[in-house]
């Protein structure tokens, strides 16, 4: 596979631990939604940060520990020890921060935010230290550098907003974290995996090489005002990316039964919805659409990465009876995850008609998260059994 170095892959345990933890957080978030529904309370900061920190951030850190050495050649020495240290710093920080939002306790929130800032700073700096000296010979590598920079900036501005309450800090925080870190990293990953995994034509060079630089400029333009004209560059950029990705996936030469391309297609539709809602100033619907966008990509890629790594590591150990990817995670189980997630997306607008109907998307969220956890832990069990 072009740009990949299969001899530098870190231990399977790193990805497995991060992915399983993220699945648990996503499952917990469905219970939080039900709890808040019964209390007739909208604790938006709690729900947003449970998704962003517990689900997205932990997943993305786990994936980067895998991708940096394999894709970028940025080899981290003693990766298991350093990844475990990062994990053990990040997990209690996230939990403490979320407890602060749940209890609405400023002292817990500030303590958790400080611990979270330190843990993100240390992990991101570790990755950047090994990544920056590497030449950006692939668009994905260039994107990793930008995305980690966006994460550092967005986290710092979020901390400053918590301390001082300045609205400009909040605007920097959410735009750099959502559009810069989460969106930017997904775009970076797609530049590598869409063509490689799904046998599609490559992304246009001008889009792949200049996307993140244009994203930085677009984010800076957005800081100048709240009117739609200041949001337009971000929306145009991501709209162009989404339509390009849809076009490439529809051109895929890989015709086997597989659900991860469907997750990517659904994710792109959700991204287009998020762009539109962001442009017209519908902030909460935008957050919902954006959350569904990155959740679709994460769920789809988890179910692609875990079977691939199980097969890859077992084959690398010389185990002749190593199961194939479709045996580790059968398409039927992937299909259950996809259609339950699709039902979640389709039923969520019911909540805008009546709050009493919110239990329907919450149920599908719980179902999707449960099946995802079952699928991921099933892959881990296959690895442990054969190893």
70-125 pLDDT, tens digit per residue, is 888 888 899 999 999 999 999 999 999 999 999 999 999 999 999 999 999 999 99
| Dist. CA 329–CA 302, nearest whole Å | 11
Q: Is the pLDDT of residue 43 over 80?
A: yes
Q: Give the pLDDT score at 6.
A: 46
Q: Would you say 157 and 169 are in contact if contact means Cβ atoms under 8 Å apart? A: yes
| Dist. CA 241–CA 338, nearest whole Å | 23
CA 211 to chain CA mean position, Å: 18
Q: What are phi and psi of 329, to 5 degrees?
A: -135, 95
Q: Is the pLDDT of residue 3 over 60?
A: no
List all residues 6 or more positions away from 172 whose beta carbon is below 8 Å from its beta carbon.
153, 154, 157, 223
The mean-pLDDT minimum among 127-141, 223-237, 250-264 falls in 250-264
| CA-closest candidate to residue 200, choices 159, 255, 146 | 255
Q: Is the pLDDT of residue 252 over 70?
A: yes
């Amino acid at each position: 596979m072009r740009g990949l170095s299969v001899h530098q892959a870190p231990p399977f345990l790193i990805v497995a631990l991060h992915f399983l933890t993220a699945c648990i957080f996503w499952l917990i978030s469905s219970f939080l939604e039900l709890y808040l529904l019964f209390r007739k309370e909208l604790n938006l900061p709690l729900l947003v940060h449970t998704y962003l920190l517990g689900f997205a951030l932990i997943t993305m850190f786990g994936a980067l520990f895998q991708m940096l050495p394999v894709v970028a050649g940025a080899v981290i020495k003693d990766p298991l020890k350093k990844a475990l240290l990062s994990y053990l710093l990040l997990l209690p920080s996230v939990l403490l921060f979320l407890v602060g939002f749940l209890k609405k306790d400023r002292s817990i929130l500030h303590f958790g935010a400080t611990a979270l800032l330190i843990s993100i700073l240390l992990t991101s700096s570790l990755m950047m230290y090994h990544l920056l000296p590497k030449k950006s010979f692939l668009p994905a590598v260039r994107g990793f550098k930008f995305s980690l920079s966006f994460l550092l900036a967005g986290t710092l501005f979020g901390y400053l907003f918590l301390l001082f309450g300045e609205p400009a800090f909040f605007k920097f925080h959410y735009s750099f974290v959502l559009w810069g870190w989460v969106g930017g990293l997904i775009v970076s990953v797609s530049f590598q995996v869409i063509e490689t995994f799904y046998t599609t034509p490559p992304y246009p060079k001008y889009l792949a090489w200049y996307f993140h630089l244009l994203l930085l400029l677009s984010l800076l333009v957005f800081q100048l005002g709240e009117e739609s004209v200041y949001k337009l560059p971000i929306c145009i950029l991501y709209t162009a990316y989404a339509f390009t990705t849809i076009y490439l996936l529809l051109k895929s030469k890989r015709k086997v039964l597989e659900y991860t391309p469907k997750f990517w297609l659904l994710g792109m539709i959700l991204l287009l919805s998020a762009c539109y809602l962001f442009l017209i100033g519908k902030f909460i619907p935008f957050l919902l659409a954006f959350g569904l966008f990155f959740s679709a990509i994460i769920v789809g890629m988890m179910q692609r990465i875990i079977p691939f790594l199980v097969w890859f590591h077992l084959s690398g150990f010389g185990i002749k009876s190593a199961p194939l990817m479709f045996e580790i995670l059968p398409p039927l189980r992937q299909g259950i995850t996809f259609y339950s997630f699709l039902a979640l997306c389709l039923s969520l607008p019911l909540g805008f008609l009546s709050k009493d109907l919110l239990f329907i998307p919450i149920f599908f969220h719980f179902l999707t998260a449960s099946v995802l956890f079952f699928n991921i832990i099933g892959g881990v069990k296959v690895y442990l059994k054969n190893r």
